[in-house]
Chains A and B, each alone.
Chain A
Amino acid sequence: MSDPTRLSIAETRDALAARELSAEELTQAHIQAIDGGNAALNAFILPTPDHALEMARASDERLAKGEAGPLEGIPLGIKDLFCTKGVRTTACSHILDGFEPGYESTVTRNLWNAGAVMLGKLNCDEFAMGSSNETSYYEPVINPWRRSGSDAKLVPGGSSGGSASAVAACLAQGATATDTGGSIRQPASLTGTVGLKPTYGRCSRWGIVAFASSLDQAGPITRTVRDSAIMLGAMAGYDEKDTTSVNMPVPDYEAAVGESIKGLKVGIPREYSMEGMPAEIEALWQTGIDWLKDAGAEISDVSLPHTKYALPAYYIVAPAEASSNLARYDGVRYGLRIEGDDIVDMYEKTRAAGFGAEVKRRVLIGTYVLSAGYYDAYYLKAQRVRTLIKRDFEQVFEDVDVLLTPATPGPAFALGEKSGDPIEMYLNDIFTVPANMSGLPGISIPGGLSGEGTPLGLQLISRAFDEEMLFRVGHVIEQAAGKLPEPENWWSTS
């Protein structure tokens, strides 16, 4: 086996089953890749090599006994938003310094039950608030991709920047991520990986550090559509500890990969064609339309009239829920405490020192829109707009099976390039936020390269709980796009 870190999850599964490779060798290869590359990429904030090797040896024992789970021996990175028992979990915030949960999130528990191996905890934006991974207390993550002829450091997107960068650079075969407004699909688009946000309720939120509870959803970042289907199959499922998790059987997602799309109806929402959108994004979108047409799908123009209001409504709903969820960080039960003159002074100093600038902005906006006299004008108004956004999708899905849109308004940008203006940063999620506002599943699939030589993604959105449609159509896009050139390995010292 030449370099097992470059295999897909599906290929690895076969190699492990055929005993061409042991889980321990595979994990060892990833530990070396992290040792050699993480200093430059900063994707992992806490590698757990001893833990990983122990899990890999247990996998080898199960493989030998013929008791392999669906993800047996597969080395994964875990976004630091997922609580992992006895392993530091901080949501990349200073305020959760040293927090070691006494419990395991349901999604990670499901992955370990399926045989997966934890390589460590991955960097992300603080409390998943950001679109570039620059708000992390543990410093930004660097994208393995660079612009042609430049060595400027590019962001991997966010908030799941560590997940995207680690998977793109082959430091992990897959990673968990979370998506509140685009935090899985936007970094996937910027790193040439596959990022899936499932339907709200498909994966349990229990044990995931909460940002905006009516929008948060866990999903995988992988290098192929098939791997995404395999990982979702293991992550998803009903959990009585999350009242919003849905009690529906988990389908065989992998079976949808490779199914024909002949006769499927694909909608092209005209409102996603925005003023000032770069020509290369329009061109990639058109290419995607042509690929699906060539594969036998029927293309039609559709209208989602409230699209432009999704982002401003999101920036009321998400901060409002965040301000409430983050009230628990008060210096009493876990993490950081800064002593004060009295208890309120202690709260105020702890939260001032523990939260970064973006988190403070959102908590303050959330506090404002929920405060007496403003609740109706902002929060209720935004929730009404949200009903209209969801209604738009419901109407469109009476006529079409899936929607095709660009995933992001542009390719990866340089560190610091957009961090001066909060709203400019927020606009990164313009194409991804509507699916969160409506609870619908969406996937970003690499479609091609920008003029700068960096990846660009296409997004598919389907009906609630029809992730199979995303895998089916996503695989067609993946096949048509062909293998993207890989980023030149500049990050590895070994």
Chain B
Amino acid sequence: MEIDDATVRKIARLARIKVDDAEAKTLKGELTGILDWVEQLDEVETDGVEPMTCVTEMEMHMRTDKVTDGGYPEEIVRNAPQHAGTFFVVPKVVE
């Protein structure tokens, strides 16, 4: 599968990673190489095989639906690059 420039740009946009022209060129080759390599999976007959959802057999445990933690917003925003009081600050989103 040949990944073209437009596809590199598109997935970089979806992944929210800015890539410059030189990086895009390198990535194009590397991503194509990796996708070509994983294409060997096409050799495997998987009709009727269930895709794995959980690797160990376990029962999902349920708990009471109640708040068990929280109430310390200062602690939550402490690591933020920018905060005002107990709010995260981001660039203006709505005009």
Cβ of A387: which chain B residues have Cβ within 8 Å of it?
A: 49-52
Query: Does chain B have a CB within 8 A of A3?
Result: no
Of B8, B40, B51, B60, which contacts A312 at CB under 8 A?
Answer: B40
Residues of B within 8 A of A (CB): 3, 7-8, 11-19, 27, 30-31, 33-35, 37-38, 40-44, 46, 49-56, 58, 60-61, 63, 72, 75-82, 88, 90-93
Q: Determine the distance from Cα of A201 to Cα of B56 in the docked complex, in whole angstroms.
A: 7
B14 and A371 form a contact (CB under 8 A): yes
CB neighbours of B82 from chain A (8 A): 337
**Nearest residue in B to A361 (C-beta to C-beta)?**
B30
Q: Does A99 contact B79, Cβ atoms closer than 8 Å? A: yes
Chain A residues within 8 Å of B13, by CB: 348
Question: CB distance A423 to B44 under 8 Å?
Answer: no
Which chain A residue shows the least CB distance to B10?
A371
A378 to B37 CA separation, bound complex (whole angstroms)? 12
> Given A346-B90, A384-B50, A390-B55, is A360 in contact with B17 using a C-beta cutoff of 8 Å?
yes
B75 to chain A, nearest CB (A): 5
Contact of A367 among B11, B55, B90 (CB under 8 A): B11
Main secondary structure of the interface of A (DSSP, over half): helix
Which partner residue on chain B sits nearest A354 by CB separation?
A: B17
Contact of B31 (CB < 8 Å), options: A309, A330, A364, A464: A364
Cβ contacts under 8 Å, A380 to chain B: 51
Could you name 30 residue pairs across A and B whose Cβ atoms are closer than 8 Å? A102-B72, A201-B58, A214-B54, A243-B60, A243-B61, A244-B54, A308-B40, A312-B40, A316-B41, A332-B90, A333-B79, A334-B79, A339-B91, A342-B93, A343-B90, A343-B93, A351-B15, A360-B19, A363-B15, A364-B8, A364-B12, A367-B15, A368-B35, A371-B11, A382-B41, A384-B52, A385-B44, A387-B49, A390-B55, A464-B56
Q: Using CB atoms and an 8 Å cutoff, list the residues of chain A in contact with chain B.
A: 98-100, 102, 199-201, 214-215, 240, 243-244, 246-247, 306, 308-309, 312-313, 315-316, 323, 327, 330-337, 339-340, 342-349, 351-352, 355, 360-361, 363-365, 367-368, 371, 378, 380-388, 390, 422-423, 437-439, 464
Using Cβ atoms and an 8 Å threshold, which residues of chain B touch A308? 40
B77: which A residues are within 8 A, CB to CB? 333
Q: Which residues of B contact A243 (CB under 8 A)?
A: 60-61
Contacts of B78 in A (CB 8 A): 100, 102
Contact B56 A422 (CB under 8 A): no
A330 to chain B, nearest CB (A): 7
Least CB separation from B26: chain A residue? A357
Other CB < 8 Å A-B pairs besides A364-B27, A365-B31, A390-B52, 20 of them?
A100-B79, A199-B56, A201-B56, A308-B40, A309-B40, A331-B81, A333-B76, A334-B80, A334-B81, A337-B82, A339-B91, A352-B17, A361-B34, A364-B31, A380-B51, A384-B44, A385-B46, A388-B46, A422-B30, A423-B37
Contact of B15 among A342, A364, A386 (CB under 8 A): A364
